[in-house]
Structure 1
Amino acid sequence: MDSFISFMEKRFLPVAAKVGNQRHLIAIRDAFVTTMPLMILGAFATLINNLPIPAYTNFMNSIFSKTVGKGAEKAYIWTKFGGNAWSGTFAILSVFIVFLVAYNLGKSYNINPLAAGVTALGSFFAVGGLAGMDSMGLFVALIVAIISTEILRRLLGNKHLVIKMPDGVPPAVAQSFAALLPSMITIAVFSLFATILLGFGVENIVTSFYKAVQEPFQGLANSYPSALLLAFITPLLWFFGLHGANMIEPFMQTINAPAITANLNAIKAGKAAPYIVNKPFFDSFVNLGGTGATLGLIIAIWLVGRKNKQYTIVGNLSAAPGIFNINEPLTFGLPIVLNPILFIPYIATPMVIVTIAYFATSTGLVPAATVMPPWVTPPIIGGVIATVSWQGGVLAAVNLVVSTLIYLPFIKIATTIALKEEAERDQAA
């Protein structure tokens, strides 16, 4: 085990650290973190409209009996709340993302972040973003945000393209004129690119890209191997002291929003939810107590590790935040980081319970996750909310029990070693 850790520290850790500090990935991660409240609101609002409980629907229809629209569009007025909230959240998600990614990236380059965000937004609409303002345009939004900011920062570095205003002009006005020509050129480049593709028969870049790349990618990311890989990578990175959840967040979010949207649309149409793997799936059934399902680790300490003073103290202190899926006190206090005894269960537990959760969902025993509760929602409750079913709570409870059972023998080994070391110290004294 020591040789493995030494090898990983030498070969893997430098590469992983470099990836984790990559400015483009950080910009994408921070953009999605900013939009998280909107995504949660949009999912909950749609849930209110589509709860699969006839008694609830009939009750709401009887209280708010007024209808709007005609023909197939006719609906009870109370359902418009969810529709309106959706229009202000998921329906314009790509618009938020293209601006925020460019804003964060511009800030990391020490150029005017507002100019970067506005330029990226204009560039996105120049290539057909109007047809993909929702999650359908997410991949194109990310690409446009990165490329437009890279073009803009290089143009801003050309003194011949910067219009300098005289002293005394307000800073906001001066910055706006400084970015005027670079922004115009950047948007023009994307407009020209879209025009050239139009000559080759590509009428809209966003919709064409979605059909050719994004939709197949979602299907690939929805597979069991991809779920297993995500369950493996995150704790592996954490084991070496790297924030695994933050590092894979950009990838997770690119499959998350489209998957939730597709699931909700399918359920609304009376069909089965097509996508199993998304963020609420991991938050509710895999990351029970945090990465590595460490709530099970705390329970295992209470059951068989009480004689291990260090583990007991840290476990007790970590229990309260662990209930809300915050496990940094446990990760660095126990520690889990570079702890050879806990390496196997910390990596294996998420892979085992993600397997249970995936096949429980794919076989129809548990509904697919369609609602994104806040990641700090306690286990079991999160499973109920994410799937809008009691089965989700049962699955989370089963996975919590399984995670505890996996950790038990390793905590017992750690306790035995700790007691032996304590006895040796006493004997030496």
Structure 2
Amino acid sequence: MNGFMDKLSEKILPLANALGQNRYLTVLRDAFMLSFPITMFGSIVVVLNNLPFFSDATKGTLGTLFGNGQNATMSIMTVFVTFGIGYYLSKSYDVEGIFGGAVSFASFLILTPFFMTTESGETVSGVLSLDRLGAKGMFIGMIAAFLAAEIYCRITKRGWQIKMPDGVPPAVSKSFAALIPAIITLTVFLVINAIMTGVFNANLHDVIYEVIQKPLTGLGSSLPATLLALFFVQFLWFFGLHGQIIVNSVMDPIWNTLMLDNLEAYQNGDALPHIVTKPFMETFTVGLGGSGMTLAVVILMAFVLKKKQYRDVGRLALAPGIFNVNEPAIFGMPIVLNATILIPWVVAPLVVTTLNYLVMAAGLVPAPTGVSVPWTVPVVFSGVLATNSWLGGLLQVIDVVIVGLIWYPFLRVLDRQVEPSLEQ
């Protein structure tokens, strides 16, 4: 078994390390983290405006008074992501980040239609639709931001800049240095938009949405794709790699887009279109004790296992585990490269996630509303906040019990394997 694991590790680790160190995936992860505190504020506003015991009239009044707390944050998440991509990609090339972010955001806006069609079929010009700055514009925003930042940085690196004398204030000097790269980059996007509008009578927003975003989000919201992503999270963690960061850097654009779709439907009082979203993955996987859903595991270690080694690790890991920080368990047990517990480590999250998906698909438990809940919120509380229902918290409790039942036989085997010298 150990020989097989060593050979597998030799094949997997280089690929996982390459993904973890990839410039574009790292930039994308950082860009989403840039939007995190802003979208978190919007989520808090949505939760407070829609508490279950409020009447519809009260919710309507609160929405009128405080609705901009969500409109100016979560509903325009693509704005922050595009700026973040431009900023962090420019920084990775040692180019002034603030101008890279501004150029990327402006390039995205150049491709964005400044009109919308009302329900009566009337076209209103000179306006931006919120959905194009949120869920519907996410993929075109990311593509435009990466392309714009690449063009801007490459031109800057070639030295095509206006250099000011030494006595000029730095802010003025940097602005002039960014002038030529910014003009060339924005011109490229203006020409692209002109061709799409004048020749094809279309816009890239709708083309990218129909050709790329809808198929990808449809695939990413499926149970098989979710289980595959979760499998790789667990599998990479087993070899000591942060599977959550590696896999999420690929899947976050899809899961966040699905989250915004749900939030829009929830705000409009419509049926939620998706089960799998970013809050689903945070609340009903990581929210059960961290990667691998290990809250049940540390409870069993702390209070059921007999060996002092495991009881000590379990009690040390219990407090962080309540807030879904489980590195003490992963490296203290250890879970990394421990073949005895590979099966429950991989299987338990897959079983629980399948159960959660099915009960939500059957309507027994509401799907997450699209409200972003911090992954450090303890079990039960996070389930209630994510679904706006006590049933979400109850489902988490059931999940913890199931994880414990799956792990228990393997923990007993592990308990017996400890050397006699380690016994109390």
- SS class of match (2:228): helix
Partner of 2:83: 99
Cα RMSD for the two superposed structures: 2.0
- Post-superposition Cα deviations, 1:111-157, rounded to whole Å, max 9, x if no partner, equal 11111111111111111165521221111111111111111111112
The amino acid that maps onto 2:145 is A
Distance 2:359 2:2 in 1: 37
Higher mean C-alpha displacement, 109-118 vs 204-213: 204-213
Distance 1:203 1:239 in 2: 48
Distance 1:326 1:208 in 2: 41
The amino acid that maps onto 1:326 is V
Distance 2:201 2:228 in 1: 35
Distance 2:244 2:77 in 1: 21
The structural deviation recorded for 1:252 is 3.4
Distance 2:157 2:177 in 1: 10
The amino acid that maps onto 1:127 is L
Partner of 1:86: 70
Partner of 2:124: none
**Contact 1:304 1:411 survives alignment (8 Å):** no
Give the 5 Å matches for 1:37-52. Answer: 37-52=37-52
Partner of 1:122: 106
Higher mean C-alpha displacement, 414-423 vs 374-383: 414-423
Pick closer, same or farther for the CA change 1:163–1:268 going to 2, 3 Å. Answer: closer
The amino acid that maps onto 2:271 is A
Distance 1:152 1:392 in 2: 46
The structural deviation recorded for 1:58 is 6.1
**Contact 2:220 2:255 survives alignment (8 Å):** no
The amino acid that maps onto 1:120 is S
**Contact 1:284 1:380 survives alignment (8 Å):** no
Distance 1:88 1:179 in 2: 29
Give the 5 Å matches for 1:254-269. Answer: 254-269=253-268
Partner of 1:64: none
Identity of aligned residues (%): 39
The structural deviation recorded for 1:202 is 4.4
TM-score (norm 2): 0.90
Partner of 2:250: 251
Partner of 1:414: 414
The structural deviation recorded for 1:274 is 1.2
The amino acid that maps onto 2:106 is G
Partner of 2:275: 276
Give the 5 Å matches for 1:327-342. Answer: 327-342=326-341
The amino acid that maps onto 1:173 is V
- Pair 1:389 & 2:389 matched: yes
The amino acid that maps onto 2:264 is N
The amino acid that maps onto 2:133 is M
- Pair 1:168 & 2:167 matched: yes
The amino acid that maps onto 2:255 is N
- Structure 1, unpaired ranges of 5+: 62-74
The structural deviation recorded for 1:422 is 4.8
The structural deviation recorded for 1:179 is 1.6
Distance 1:163 1:353 in 2: 59
Partner of 1:33: 33
Higher mean C-alpha displacement, 240-249 vs 374-383: 240-249
Partner of 1:57: 55
Higher mean C-alpha displacement, 286-295 vs 41-50: 41-50
Distance 1:260 1:317 in 2: 34
Higher mean C-alpha displacement, 172-181 vs 323-332: 172-181
Which 4+ residue blocks in structure 1 deviate beyond 3 angstroms? 47-53, 58-61, 267-271, 419-423
- Post-superposition Cα deviations, 1:150-194, rounded to whole Å, max 9, x if no partner, equal 1111111223x2111111222222222112101110111111111
Distance 1:120 1:335 in 2: 44
Partner of 2:347: 348
- Post-superposition Cα deviations, 1:71-121, rounded to whole Å, max 9, x if no partner, equal xxxx63x32244211221022211111111110111111111111111111
- Post-superposition Cα deviations, 1:189-214, rounded to whole Å, max 9, x if no partner, equal 11111112223424321133213321
- SS class of match (1:305): coil
Distance 1:422 1:126 in 2: 66
Partner of 2:206: 207
**Contact 1:380 1:397 survives alignment (8 Å):** yes
- SS class of match (1:136): coil
Distance 1:322 1:359 in 2: 26
Give the 5 Å matches for 1:285-300. Answer: 285-287=284-286, 288-300=288-300
Distance 1:81 1:256 in 2: 29
**Contact 2:77 2:134 survives alignment (8 Å):** yes
The amino acid that maps onto 1:60 is T
- Structure 2, unpaired ranges of 5+: 114-127
